[in-house]
Amino acid sequence: MFVGFDYGSANCAVGIMQNDVVQLLALSEQSAYLPSTLYAMDRDLIAEAVYRSLPAEFKADYANKRAAQISRARMVRHELDLDANTQAVFVGEQAVSAYLDMPEEGFYVRSPKSFLGATGLRPEQVALFEDIVTLMMMHIKVRAESVLVEKGLVQPGAEAMITHAVIGRPVNFQGIGGEESNRQAETILTLAAKRAGFIGVDFLFEPLAAGMDYEATLTDNKTVLVVDVGGGTTDCSVVKMGPAHKHKADRSEDFLGHSGQRIGGNDLDIALAMDAFMPHFGLGSLMTNGKPMPSKAFWNAVAVNDISAQREFNTLSSRKLIDELIKEAEQPQLLSRLLKVQQQQLSYQLVRQAERAKIALSDAEKTDINLDFIEVTLHAGVSRDLFDNAIESSLTKVEALMHQALAQAAHTLAAKNVAATNALPQDIATVNIEQECKPDVIYVTGGTARSPAIYAKITGIYPDTPVVVGDHFGSVTAGLTRWAQKLFAKH
């Protein structure tokens, strides 16, 4: 069976085709979406969990590569008084619950996809992310196949129920690193999918996938600017769509321009946590010498999608720095809260509360966020104006990506015109790089695009162009599913 697999920064989803209609499979008890999170009582237990679930043909090679981690996992189980069958690694909602119960005792990662293209990863870090993604994909594949059995679409015990998957990927996994970052991330995802039991794997840009789902509804041909503002990245694609295009097996001629950057919902949450919460922890306060409090420790506390920042914040030297800041602060009680975040590893909880504020502000001008996990009576008032100010730089980047995709599309069309008229290649250079292709429609998708601030920015850039809002969470999965049927059915 062929599936579309959205391994997202915020959530994961899997789709199948039934009677030419996309159906998303329930990956959790009450939802088709599984939070992109993992929690382990110890990180070496991740390798152990992967090894236990690997297909037989991968076990020997994996055991050789992860011998040290698997050996340490046995010692960890002894130290934690866990028997061999006690679950020690959790995915999705179970991971969130385990982290909230034991934030300082285990290893928690949210949005692992955001790290896959990071530059400067050491081999052991790449190996860790390979294992995290593998374990999550294993969990999702097993869950999806159990749903297929429940629906009566496959027989219990059938081998390789789900064999092939088209996995969505952003245009760029990182703002820096270029194609090397993209290759690193795709390599990790491919290896993880193979280890999880997928026989065939291919990739499709997420905005193109979202656009394909929209294309299924079109009765006229249009040039569409797809803007996909997701949890980890924002991606834009300019695509020719409609009845004359959607049945093509090769769509490369229809894809006119792409742009993407690692700026998404996670970044908005972090920016909001910094501006709305960190003043309650001492940001903006003064030291006894009258100088402003240095901001780096506050940023490191909330920058949960930055490996270097989190590693630095969790060091003993960071703890000592905060201790020194407490001694020099005019309001030491505020800095004591920051110390608690560092000691008890509460960064993800803070950013999670910022995410809740962001969601609440989609329907309200103000919201009050409880921070009682820091202090019983601590709470923070958050307004839509504060949120808008916090994410202003992110909105500017989203606008730049839209312009970039349309400028690239204009250049592509100019090149095609040159080729069609047998003009000289250098004539392409006469096209001003700032010139843009005018879209007929802007198609907006991605969970983060639900925010009124994001939507207002997108619609305000081209006020005369119609805007269509897709399924914020399901359109990418639906497009991936449609493409999987077209791609793999040929083989």
Tens-place pLDDT, residues 139-194: 999 999 999 998 887 777 665 589 999 999 988 887 555 789 999 999 999 999 99
Question: Can you give the pLDDT at residue 131?
Answer: 97
Of 150, 167, 198, the one marking the end of a domain is: 198
Joined together, the tokens standing for residue 123 give: 């081999």
Strand order in 89-91's β-sheet? 89-91, 37-40, 107-110
Q: Indicate if 225 and 348 belong to the same structural domain.
A: no
Rounded (10°) angle between helices 44-53 and 123-150? 40
Say how many domains are in the chain.
Answer: 3
Residue 212 resides in a domain:
no
Q: Indicate if 160 and 113 belong to the same structural domain.
A: yes
Rounded (10°) angle between helices 452-461 and 392-420? 40
The more confident residue out of 491 and 456 is 456
Contact 179, 187 (CB under 8 A): no
Residue 479 resides in a domain:
no
Tens-place pLDDT, residues 78-90: 999 999 999 999 9
Of 365, 392, 419, the one marking the end of a domain is: 392
Please provide the DSSP assignment of 405-442 as one string: HHHHHHHHHHHHHHHHTT--GGGGGGS-TT--PPPSEE
pLDDT band at 473 (very low <50, low <70, confident <90, very high): confident
Question: Can you give the pLDDT at residue 424?
Answer: 58
Instruction: Please report, rounded to a whole number, the percentage of residues in the chain having pLDDT higher than 70.
Output: 95
For the residues 220-232, what does the mean pLDDT come to? 92
CATH of the domain at 245: 3.30.420.40
Residue 211 resides in a domain:
no
Q: Indicate if 225 and 362 belong to the same structural domain.
A: no
Averaged confidence pLDDT in the chain: 90
Q: Indicate if 259 and 281 belong to the same structural domain.
A: no
pLDDT band at 491 (very low <50, low <70, confident <90, very high): low
Which range is most confident: 62-66, 204-208, 211-215? 62-66
Residue 411 resides in a domain:
yes
Contact 236, 225 (CB under 8 A): yes
Residue 474 resides in a domain:
no
Q: Indicate if 146 and 246 belong to the same structural domain.
A: no
Q: Indicate if 174 and 127 belong to the same structural domain.
A: yes
Q: Indicate if 287 and 355 belong to the same structural domain.
A: yes
Q: What angle do CA 401, 404, 406 make, to 5 degrees?
A: 110
Domain assignment of residue 434, given as a range: 220-263+394-468
Tens-place pLDDT, residues 35-70: 999 999 999 999 999 999 999 999 999 999 999 999
Residue 328 resides in a domain:
yes
Which of 203, 134, 194, 162 shows the shortest CA–CA distance to 16? Answer: 162
Question: Can you give the pLDDT at residue 296?
Answer: 95
Q: Indicate if 81 and 183 belong to the same structural domain.
A: yes
Q: Indicate if 239 and 295 belong to the same structural domain.
A: no
Of 392, 408, 441, the one marking the end of a domain is: 392
pLDDT band at 332 (very low <50, low <70, confident <90, very high): very high
Q: Hey, how many other C-beta atoms are within 10 angstroms of the C-beta on 260?
A: 26
pLDDT band at 196 (very low <50, low <70, confident <90, very high): very high
Decide if pLDDT at 467 tops 80: yes
Tens-place pLDDT, residues 418-455: 776 665 555 555 555 557 899 999 999 988 888 888 88
Which of 119, 134, 170, 125 shows the shortest CA–CA distance to 38? Answer: 134
Q: What is the pTM of this model?
A: 0.83
Q: Indicate if 275 and 249 belong to the same structural domain.
A: no
Tens-place pLDDT, residues 285-313: 999 999 999 999 999 999 998 878 988 99
Decide if pLDDT at 118 tops 80: yes
Question: Can you give the pLDDT at residue 212?
Answer: 86
Contact 404, 236 (CB under 8 A): yes
Q: What angle do CA 55, 139, 125 make, to 5 degrees?
A: 80
Residue 308 resides in a domain:
yes
Q: Indicate if 242 and 252 belong to the same structural domain.
A: yes
Residues 6+ apart with CB under 8 A from 96: 35, 37, 39
Question: Can you give the pLDDT at residue 434?
Answer: 53
Residue 109 resides in a domain:
yes
Q: Indicate if 428 and 336 belong to the same structural domain.
A: no
